[in-house]
Amino acid sequence: MRPISLTRYLIEQQREHGHLNADLRLLIEVVARACKAISIAIGKGAIGGVLGSAGSENVQGEVQKKLDVLSNEILLEANEWGGHLAALASEEMDHPHAIPNRYPKGEYLLLFDPLDGSSNIDVNISVGTIFSVLRCPDGVAEPREEDFLQPGARQVAAGYAVYGPNTVLVLTTGHGVASFTLDREVGSFLLSERQMKIPAATREFAINMSNMRHWEPPMRRYIDELLAGKTGPRGKDFNMRWVASMVADVHRILTRGGIFIYPRDAREPDKPGKLRLMYEANPMSFIVEQAGGAATNGHQRLLELQPKALHERVAVFLGSREEVEVATRYHREAAGA
Ligand code: P6P
């Protein structure tokens, strides 16, 4: 059986569901092509002169790696001219990026974290690109920040590329989750799985345990029970994985189950969490739900949150449905819900 390319898959999805118009198909293919270029840049490592700091800071006040800046530029340049976007937004840019007047505009808003987990770059650990697609509100010619502030349930597509031992693009357009593996010789993403499914039950959790003393009580309760294993109320032993690259951790969970947690903690009590809602939590939550998993902020379905700011942060509990439900129940009980 001939391998199925991303292009062919998208055309088949269009025929089957009729939800993928030409502009959305173009958007996905352009983003995939940009991820290919990012994968090649990352793959050069130290010999590519792309490692280390760029000597600048992003809107989050984080030191930018050279590859953060390069990945952002690759995605901007790839998406400006196609006529499929009304505007775009990135973790690396303070404000939305307007499509230059010399190019036509389209109906979609693209948001992305161009290189998530970039602190892992210099130690050769998997990193990734995360993207989210919304519709531009009708009648808005020059989208501003508030036009991006739509609940995650309004996404029309979302995906990520994980740059690991192989480069894999994972995509949902609202009809399940498919994965594509990059054939580096041909330069094409080839379909590797049509319908990724997250097992409802799991024995594997992903959280940064070094923050334990800063967690709220229901977070402590949930993790203490996992650590108690067979001897505790859960009656089974659990395993832990933490890559500190959300894309890598989420990809493992999509592949074999698990729960990923980045809770709020007392280190910065005014922040609801570390991860960003618009271009990390929302796209990953859309993908996880489409694969049969669940995603909350510890209290409610993450995709229903009404964003208030482009770079706002959120607590994230996502993955195997049964575990997300237990952890969320504990948080709701503690809040008296
Ligand atoms: P910590 C990477 O910086 C990131 O945004 C996510 O990809 C990852 O899950 C998390 O932060 C890691 O955070 O506190 O463990 O370094």
CATH number (domain holding residue 172): 3.30.540.10
Looking at residues 139-144, what average pLDDT do you find? 94
Q: Say if ligand 1 is within 6 A of residue 246 CB.
A: yes
Structural domain count of the chain = 2
Looking at residues 186-205, what average pLDDT do you find? 97
Q: Residue 37 and residue 43: Cα distance in Å, rounded?
A: 10
Q: Is residue 241 part of a domain?
A: yes
For residues 73 and 218, membership in a common domain is answered with: no
For residues 155 and 187, membership in a common domain is answered with: yes
> What is the model's pLDDT at position 59?
76
Residue owning the nearest CA to atom 13 of ligand 1? 244
What separation in Å is there between the alpha carbon of 5 and the centre of ligand 1?
32
Q: Residue 37 and residue 79: Cα distance in Å, rounded?
A: 13
Q: How many CA atoms lie within 13 A of 127 on its CB side?
A: 25
Which of 193, 224, 250 lies at the terminal end of a domain, its last residue? Answer: 193
Q: Is residue 287 part of a domain?
A: yes
For residues 48 and 112, membership in a common domain is answered with: yes
For residues 165 and 81, membership in a common domain is answered with: yes
- pLDDT over 90 for what percent of the chain? 89
Which of 193, 221, 256 lies at the terminal end of a domain, its last residue? Answer: 193
Q: Say if ligand 1 is within 6 A of residue 120 CB.
A: no
Looking at residues 287-312, what average pLDDT do you find? 98
What separation in Å is there between the alpha carbon of 9 and the centre of ligand 1?
32
The pLDDT-based confidence of 61 (bands split at 50, 70, 90) is confident
Q: Residue 34 and residue 229: Cα distance in Å, rounded?
A: 43
For residues 56 and 180, membership in a common domain is answered with: yes
> What is the model's pLDDT at position 103?
95
pLDDT at residue 43 above 80? yes
Residue owning the nearest CA to atom 1 of ligand 1? 244
CATH number (domain holding residue 317): 3.40.190.80
- Name the helix (H) or strand (E) containing 294: strand 294-296
What separation in Å is there between the alpha carbon of 244 and the centre of ligand 1?
5
Q: Which of 130, 162, 262 to mutate to test the pocket of ligand 1 (most atoms within 8 A of CB)?
A: 262
Q: Say if ligand 1 is within 6 A of residue 116 CB.
A: yes
SS3 172: strand
* Strand extents, DSSP E, 53-187: 53-57, 63-65, 85-90, 97-98, 108-116, 127-135, 157-163, 167-172, 177-183
Cβ contacts of residue 125 below 8 Å, gap of 6+? 117, 243, 244, 245, 248
Q: Is residue 295 part of a domain?
A: yes
202 near 327, Cβ under 8 Å?
no
Q: Is residue 60 part of a domain?
A: yes
Residue owning the nearest CA to atom 14 of ligand 1? 208
For residues 221 and 187, membership in a common domain is answered with: no
For residues 185 and 210, membership in a common domain is answered with: no
Mean pLDDT of the chain: 95
Q: Residue 177 and residue 314: Cα distance in Å, rounded?
A: 23
Looking at residues 69-91, what average pLDDT do you find? 96
Which tokens is 103 given? 């190019």
Residue owning the nearest CA to atom 3 of ligand 1? 117
Q: Which of 113, 271, 274, 275 to mutate to test the pocket of ligand 1 (most atoms within 8 A of CB)?
A: 274
Which tokens is 186 given? 């041909």
Q: Say if ligand 1 is within 6 A of residue 117 CB.
A: yes
Which tokens is 65 given? 């790696």
Q: Is residue 92 part of a domain?
A: yes
92 near 64, Cβ under 8 Å?
yes
Q: Say if ligand 1 is within 6 A of residue 245 CB.
A: yes
What separation in Å is there between the alpha carbon of 275 and the centre of ligand 1?
8
Q: Which of 126, 262, 121, 83 is nearest to 110 (CA)?
A: 83
User: Which residue range is the domain that position 213 belongs to?
Assistant: 204-334
What separation in Å is there between the alpha carbon of 38 and the centre of ligand 1?
20
Q: Say if ligand 1 is within 6 A of residue 265 CB.
A: no
Q: Is residue 199 part of a domain?
A: no
135 near 153, Cβ under 8 Å?
no
Q: How many CB atoms lie within 10 A of CB 156?
A: 20
pLDDT tens digits along 176-193: 999 999 999 999 999 999
Q: Say if ligand 1 is within 6 A of residue 283 CB.
A: no
Looking at residues 126-131, what average pLDDT do you find? 98
Tell me how far CA of residue 26 lies from CA of 20, 62, 79, in angstroms.
10, 32, 10
Helices (H), 149-281: 217-228, 246-256
For residues 309 and 180, membership in a common domain is answered with: no
In the block, which residue shows the tokens 């009708």?
A: 138
Q: State the Cα angle at 23 between 114 and 313, rounded to 5°.
A: 35
Q: Which atom of ligand 1 is nearest to the CA of 62?
A: 3
Q: Say if ligand 1 is within 6 A of residue 208 CB.
A: yes
- pLDDT over 70 for what percent of the chain? 100
For residues 263 and 229, membership in a common domain is answered with: yes
pLDDT tens digits along 20-37: 999 999 999 999 999 999
For residues 51 and 112, membership in a common domain is answered with: yes
CA Rg value for the chain: 19
What separation in Å is there between the alpha carbon of 207 and the centre of ligand 1?
10
pLDDT tens digits along 227-268: 999 999 999 999 999 999 999 999 999 999 999 999 999 999
For residues 322 and 247, membership in a common domain is answered with: yes
> What is the model's pLDDT at position 65?
81
> What is the model's pLDDT at position 72?
96
For residues 158 and 254, membership in a common domain is answered with: no
Q: Give the number of residues written for the chain.
A: 337
Q: Which atom of ligand 1 is nearest to the CA of 262?
A: 9
28 near 75, Cβ under 8 Å?
no
Helices (H), 159-306: 217-228, 246-256, 282-290
Q: Is residue 146 part of a domain?
A: yes
247 near 162, Cβ under 8 Å?
yes
Q: Which residues pair with 180 in a beta bridge?
A: 169, 191
Q: Which of 68, 116, 127, 247 to mutate to test the pocket of ligand 1 (most atoms within 8 A of CB)?
A: 116
- Name the helix (H) or strand (E) containing 316: strand 316-319
